[in-house]
Every structure is written in C-alpha cells, then in structure tokens.
Chain A
C-alpha cells in the first residue's frame, strides 16, 4: 500500500466515534449488546439481534481468520487507483461467527492468503491523525 494520502478516510459520526478513537489509541473495540451479548459491527443505534439500545463498545482480541478474500484489478476504486491489483480480506473475528471486518494485505502476501488463515490486527496511520485497523496473516 503505497500512497495513503488519497485513500478515503472514515468520517466518524456519533455512533462510530468510539471505534475510531480507540483505533487511534491502537485498540480494537466492537459494540456489544448489554442485553443479549451480541456483537454488532458496523456500529448501530440498536442491536441487530434483539433491538436493545444499550450497546457499549468492548475491546476484542484482534484475532480471527480469513473469511474470504478478493484481488481487485479495476483502477477505478477511489484512492486505490495506483494500488491495483490490491488484496482485500474479510476477517471473521474470534469473538463471534460472522462478526466481520475488512482489511488490506500487501500484494506480495498473495501466496499466503487462504480462507481460514489466522490473522491479527495492527493499525495503519492515515492522514488527519486517523488510524485504521488492518489485519496481517500470522
């Protein structure tokens, strides 16, 4: 991932701000329903499983596995025009089935990417003091 200055940056809102603030501090957090324990990501104002509204952010392990992956070759992805081909992996976090997050991998990692490969989180700094969670194969 070469030039990060043109890549879209997250516009934190009232719901997502705790996630991005934690990411800035190198911590990965996910909303967890106080009523039923279900993890919800992306953040939302109600639990997707039970509709309860109390959803505090909790730290998660940052460990998971590759749920799926794709290599994008189109050069029309905003901010990634010069990166193609680039890898996206979808990570299933260890905390809950189908609790998913997206990440990039350097194209050189391609031979190592398989569904089920174990991954761990790290944080990549972008402009404006924003850090985004990324995952690497371990």
Chain B
C-alpha cells in the first residue's frame, strides 16, 4: 500500500459558469473557479503556496494565447493575489487531469507547500486565421498529419469511431451499450443543476434518432463542448480538517504507463494494456479494488471510453462491458453507479475535473439529489485508455 494513503485531501471545489455562450474569456472563467474553490474551502488566496494545472488546448490549432486559449501557472500567478512566498508549482501534460493533482499530493507529502490550487480551464476553440500572408491552393499537411489529413481523417472523433467499430466487431457489442451509458448519464445530469443538460431529459428514441457524427458514433456519444473551469483545493489531511468542508481523503492514485504499440493513430488494441497499467497502480496504492467502490466516475469524452474503463479497471472482464451496463446496474440506485453527475456527455466537457469533483461530493455528502447514501470510496478515472489517463480514489475516512 502507498505510504501517502489518506494523508492528503481535496478540501474545496469551485466551478465557473459552464457555458456555450461565454461572456468572458477563459482566464476570467478560471479566476471565477479558483475564487469559488477558495470560498468553498474557507481559505484566503494569500494562503495558497502551491499551483498546478494541466493547461493543454482541447485540440491542435486551437491557439495557445495565455488567458484566452489556455490558463497557465504563470497566468494565475499574475492574476490572483496568492501567498507572497508561493513555494511550488507544476504544469503537466502527461497523464491526464488527475496528474497535476498527483504532483500536488507529492509536493504536499514532501513538505514543499501547504495549500495547492489546481485548475483545469478549457474552451471551445473558434476557427482562427493562421496568418502567414496570401496563400493559394490546397492546405498543406505536415508531420504525421500528412498521412491523415489528405484523407480527411485527422479528427479525434474519427479515431474513437474507428476504435469502437473494432470493439463491436471483436466482442459482438451493439449501440445498445452506448445508449445505456448515454441515458444513464442524462438521467443523472437531470439531478445536477450545474449540468449543461440539467433540464433536458433524453429517451432511447432521442438517442437512436440523433444525427451521426462519425459512424458508429452519434451526437450523444460525444461530450458537450463548453467553456469553463473547475478548480480544487488540495492540502494535507491534517490541514483539511481545519477548513470549512469535510475533506475527501485521497486514498490512491495512478497514471497510464504502458507503451502504445500502434503508430499512425491510437487504436483499440492499446486500450487494455494502457488502461490496466493505470488501474493496477490505482487499486494497489489504495489497498482497495473495484468491488470496494460505491461509485465510479469514468471518463467519457467519447462515450465508448467509459466502457473501456469498466473493463480495464476490472469492474468487469474484457469484452463484457456491454453486458455490464445493462439492466440498471450502473444507475444511481444500481450495483455500481457510474458518472453520477452526468459525465462529460451531459454535464459538459471539463476533461475529467467534473468526474473528480463529483467523487469528492459523493464521499462528503454534497451530491444533493444524486447522493449515494454513505458513499465511502469513489474512484475518478480520466482519459481514454489507449490515449492516456490518470485517476484518483477518494474516501470518506482517512
């Protein structure tokens, strides 16, 4: 078992507005989320002596202007009145959203700082002229894109469609599995006032009648692109107990470490090795297993990823995800509630921060109508197994 188990905690959650019609630039949304997290924890910004984020733009070409397209450590340092002796920071783009939190945990355990503010800000990139003067003729694709873009095959949704096509072929799964996941997420989102689709229920017909994006993935298999930011306060367990909210203790953590063996693009064939490399560390660090989880918040940037994580993390056997999600097993009142807040599919694309925030709420009795009574241990795993990932287990007791 990990020596850091239960020694750090998530002590505050802050959301900016999550919106498709933002009235302010991303940096200001990030400030809103950071201030909300500080207020939630009952902590003054001047006590924050550690910062960490995963700043990446949602896709290539989105732009890289600090405070508009990304919100870096430097930007927050320049725009929030933090501790004058700010002692530690990290900006990381390996692993996934839990990765800066894992960095923060290690910094806290090492005594490098006392209170860490972690945020993830992201937006819906608008098309932007690339500059470079007059250019005639077709666009030119360079790097690995020269083997994809000439075929119109460089979008991430196509990558996920290709993996899901292969999954269906390999295991005999159908779209019913994805419908079950999407409907479950929407039902939970209808109990989450923060969710983009809070007021919009979804029927099975709605799912099957929605338009194709990249077959075999339809509109409701894709997360909702939004502008927004989620921020968290991470501190030692001892300090957390003196703040306003009950702490969610961090019992375990893990990141993808398996090597990807397919060149050209990310394939289904890499998902199990990559996903289980994360899950093994997650379970081992906490001394807990899938059966100890009262709920699982599993990444769903594209819907099939949740199914892959159910398998890679050992909630069911490989190839059995489609059978597992049937018959209400993943519902709030089921055997393993999944994405109890609505997931990225229905709350909005916060790249896994929504998953972590919900895990915290569930083990601290803050999930409102979605509360699983007495939830003691919940995992949040982000990323797509074959791409990258990181995860946490939070618990009610240290």
Q: Are A10 and B151 in contact (CB under 8 A)?
A: no
Question: In the complex, what distance in Å separates the CA atom of A71 from the CA atom of B140?
Answer: 23
Question: Does A120 sit within 8 A of B, measured CB to CB?
Answer: no
- A13 CB contact (under 8 Å) in B137, B142, B263, B268: B142
- B212 CB contact (under 8 Å) in A11, A48, A68, A71: A71
Mostly, the B contact residues are: mixed
Contacts of A102 in B (CB 8 A): 147-148, 151, 153, 264-265
Q: Are B166 and A68 in contact (CB under 8 A)?
A: yes
Question: Does A56 sit within 8 A of B, measured CB to CB?
Answer: no
- A72 CB contact (under 8 Å) in B142, B148, B158, B264: B158
Question: Does B242 sit within 8 A of A, measured CB to CB?
Answer: no
Question: In the complex, what distance in Å separates the CA atom of A6 from the CA atom of B261?
Answer: 33
Question: In the complex, what distance in Å separates the CA atom of A79 from the CA atom of B148?
Answer: 12
Question: In the complex, what distance in Å separates the CA atom of A102 from the CA atom of B139?
Answer: 18
Question: Does B152 sit within 8 A of A, measured CB to CB?
Answer: yes
How many A-B Cβ pairs are below 8 Å? 135
Question: In the complex, what distance in Å separates the CA atom of A81 from the CA atom of B217?
Answer: 19
Q: Are A42 and B138 in contact (CB under 8 A)?
A: no
Using an 8 Å CB-CB cutoff, how does the interface string of B154-168 with A read, 1 for contact, 0 for none? 110110011101100
Q: Are A6 and B138 in contact (CB under 8 A)?
A: yes
Contacts of A85 in B (CB 8 A): 212, 215
Question: In the complex, what distance in Å separates the CA atom of A68 from the CA atom of B149?
Answer: 17
Q: Quick one: closest A residue to B264, CB to CB? A: A100
- Least Cβ–Cβ distance between B373 and chain A, in angstroms: 42
Contacts of A21 in B (CB 8 A): none
The 7 closest A-B pairs by CB, nearest first: A10-B146, A80-B152, A70-B161, A71-B215, A11-B140, A8-B149, A11-B142
Binding site for B on A (CB under 8 A): 5-13, 16, 40-42, 44, 48, 67-74, 77-80, 83, 85-86, 88, 90, 98, 100-104, 115, 126-128, 132
Binding site for A on B (CB under 8 A): 137-155, 157-158, 161-163, 165-166, 169, 211-217, 261-265, 267-269
